[in-house]
Chains A and B, each alone.
Chain A
Amino acid sequence: MKHWVLALVLVMWASVAWGWQLHGFVDGRSGMRLQDDDVERQAILNELRLQLDLNHMSDLAIWQFRADLVGDEAVGESEQDLERGYGVLDLREANVLLTPFYFLDVKLGRQILTWGTGDLLFINDLFPKDWQSFFIGRDVEYLKAPSDAAMFSFYPSWANVDVIYVPQFDADRYISGERISYWNPMLGRRAGAQDEMVVDQRGDWFSEDEWHVRVSRNIEGIELAAYGYDGYWKSPQGVDALYRSYFPKLRVFGASVRSSFAGGVANVETGYYDSREDRRGDDPMVPNSELRALLGYEREIVRNFSAAVQYYLEYMQDYSAYRRTLPTGMNARDEDRHVVTLRLTRQLLNQNLELSLFTYWSPSDRDSYLRPHVKYKASDAISLYLGANLFFGDAPDTFFGQFENNTNLYAGMRYSF
């Protein structure tokens, strides 16, 4: 053990070092519901956060540590849990990137992982998301939750190949009622802080694990990629015999293309969700297999004003089997779920003021989610934020409609150093 530590220290100092760098920010934010919610508090976010980002780069290795210390008055959860992101410490990154061969990079440890072409829509990116942070007004970077993983990136001449192994399944930081009320089909009503959700977490190391693979190539600016995933559904969408929620087995295969097109950027992505525990679609307690696809286009409309649109589809396989076996009294979802997104971004005052709006709208679910946001950079160090999360829906059980009582307004300030 001692030799190992000594070797590590030697490797870090013997290599041509560029030294340690420390940066970070202090971020204060407050958000509140704009309407009453029978099952939640009015305050949705009252947090002060200190992020420290420490890294060390050399020819041999890049060390990266990034952790948040968080205090939140509006919190429902309090126990320290690094997986769920509860408690005072939120460890975002703790990893080392090594280049053992000229064609191979290896990144080991806690890391944020992202791929795919969607804008706030994910098909082949099955890395954990923190929907709770996304909905309560934290910075959008918190939508990505960390993974404890080993990433192997191979760079042969014909493509880039990324293979990621996650030894212990990382679920989404899914909505479970502590802060955000949601539709609980078992209860048949909106559930909140008092309604404890019993979830089997799938925490067995090396047996309940995940594999992610991507093969990608950039040909003259046309980006092609193929993806694979072997793991579990990322939110507890299955119900077992003991009426506990759990994460059913899932495999995903997909592909994407992204390129400049007609003065803008266009992207296409598709993925087949193979729900391995319900391949015939007749088990009402496990989600059916799905085909998902998205099509996007972004361009600048005039100087400092850009627009992006996306169309997204979830097509459920074996829909008739799903309808036939659906328990009576439970609302059926549609065979197709369509979502259209629109992003508008306007830069003003020498790019120091940014007005943006991101909207999700589902004509099939008849619900929508709007994210207006204003960011003002008062100086190089200080930024001010004002934003809202607005949910609308005709029915209480649709994807965005279920969150209607969580519609909130937030304001914040960040000092970066």
Chain B
Amino acid sequence: MNSARFSIVTLVVLLLMASVSYALTADEIIDKANQASYYAGKDGRAMVKMTITAKGGDVRIREFAQLRYNEENGDQKFYTYFKAPADVYKMAYLVWKNIGRDDDRWLWLPALNLKKRIAPGDKRTSFVGSDFLYEDVSGRSPEEDVHTLQEETDRYYRIDNVPKDPGSVEFSHYVVEINKATFLPMIARYYDHSGKIYREVEALKVEEIQGFPTVLVSEARDLVSGSVTRNEFSEVQYDIGLNSRIFTERFLRRPPREVQ
């Protein structure tokens, strides 16, 4: 009896020691960052204001509400409801993100009362004309890159990511700094094939909401064109009890109250 208790205690202590001293691998860090960035809670909602400033000072604004729902198997559903500019007012964009196969995407055109299916398409395409890409919004699969831990300080992990299929992307590699406390990526720098940084995505303001560290201001900068897009998130909530039925045609026709 005593020896049994002793061995259990020893085991627990040993395990604790192991987890403290055992350094995370680059793949584990990226997985945790992916969870922290895109999977917080069972579901979530945010109001987004996107300000696109071109090099010459021309400013364009997009405002939308976004709902997210996590499935058990890692699949996700996104509902984006546009409020501005006026020519896209009441349009809705529905994405079923499927792990391991193409996403299903639909665009709701209210003037035509039409649910238009969108071909899967390149995820490295600009999201609504901004400097953010579809992949920045819904997440890049960790499976698509080879990750190497370059540096570990007391504040962050710096990880280099090299695409497994270089033909599918415009960068040669990107380096991301991940906060050790929150596992949120704070800055990602994208390198072109000559080794120059041409694009940056940065988290400018992080706050804890319902226990989840949350990016409230982020910025994407195109260093070649000089264009900068800033995203400001407000009314962020997690675990609001969204029903997966919201992510269907019925609620494209009749926007749910959560987007108002």
Say if A and B assemble together: yes
Q: Which of B57-111 contact A (CB under 8 A)?
A: 58, 60-61, 84-87, 89, 96, 98, 101-102, 104, 109, 111
Which residues of A from 7 to 61 have beta carbons under 8 Å from B? 16, 18, 23-25, 53, 57, 59
**Contact of B119 with A111 in the complex, beta carbons under 8 Å:** no
Option from A59, A99, A258, A300 in Cβ contact (under 8 Å) with B117: A258
Q: Is B121 an interface residue (CB 8 A)?
A: yes
Contacts of B257 in A (CB 8 A): 16, 18, 57, 59
**With an 8 A cutoff between CB atoms, is B5 at the interface?**
no
Asked if A351 contacts B96 (CB within 8 A), the reply is no
Contact of B129 among A97, A221, A351, A417 (CB under 8 A): A351
Partner of B122, one of A18, A23, A300, A417: A300
Residue A253 lies at the interface, judged by CB distance under 8 Å to chain B: no
Select which of A144, A263, A383 is within 8 A of B102 by beta carbon: A263
Tell whether B166 is near chain A: CB-to-CB under 8 Å.
Answer: no
Assess whether B210 is interfacial by the CB under 8 Å rule: no
B contact patch SS: loop
How extensive is the interface on chain A, given as a class?
35 or more
| Contact (Cβ within 8 A) A380 B86 | yes
Given contacts A141-B111, A218-B248, A351-B129, contact A105 B120 (CB under 8 A): no
Contacts of B114 in A (CB 8 A): 114
Given contacts A16-B257, A97-B254, A379-B60, contact A350 B117 (CB under 8 A): no
- The distance in angstroms between the C-alpha atoms of A306 and B257, with both chains bound, is 34
- Chain B residues lying within 8 Å of A18, measured Cβ to Cβ, are 257, 260
Main secondary structure of the interface of A (DSSP, over half): strand
Find chain A residues with CB under 8 A from B207 CB. none
Q: Give CA–CA (A160, B120) in the complex, Å.
A: 24
Interface residue count on the B side (C-beta < 8 Å): 42
Residue A153 at the B interface, CB < 8 A? yes
Residue from the list B86, B112, B120, B130 in contact with A417, Cβ < 8 A: B86
In contact, B126 and A351 (Cβ under 8 angstroms)? yes
A113 touching B104 in the complex, CB below 8 Å, given contacts A306-B119, A380-B61: no
Tell which of A153, A223, A350, A383 touches B87, judged by Cβ atoms closer than 8 Å.
A383
Interchain Cβ contacts under 8 Å between A and B, 5 examples: A105-B253, A117-B117, A155-B250, A216-B249, A265-B118
Q: A112-B111, A112-B112, A351-B129 are known; give 19 further A-B pairs, CB within 8 A.
A: A18-B257, A105-B253, A114-B113, A141-B109, A141-B112, A155-B245, A160-B249, A160-B250, A260-B102, A263-B120, A264-B120, A300-B119, A300-B120, A303-B124, A306-B119, A379-B60, A380-B86, A380-B87, A416-B86
The 6 closest A-B pairs by CB, nearest first: A380-B85, A221-B104, A416-B86, A351-B129, A416-B87, A18-B260
Interface residue ranges, A against B (CB under 8 Å): 16, 18, 23-25, 53, 57, 59, 62, 66, 92, 97, 99, 105, 111-114, 117, 141, 144, 153, 155, 160, 216, 218, 221, 223, 258, 260, 263-265, 267, 298-300, 302-304, 306, 308, 350-352, 377, 379-381, 383, 414, 416-417
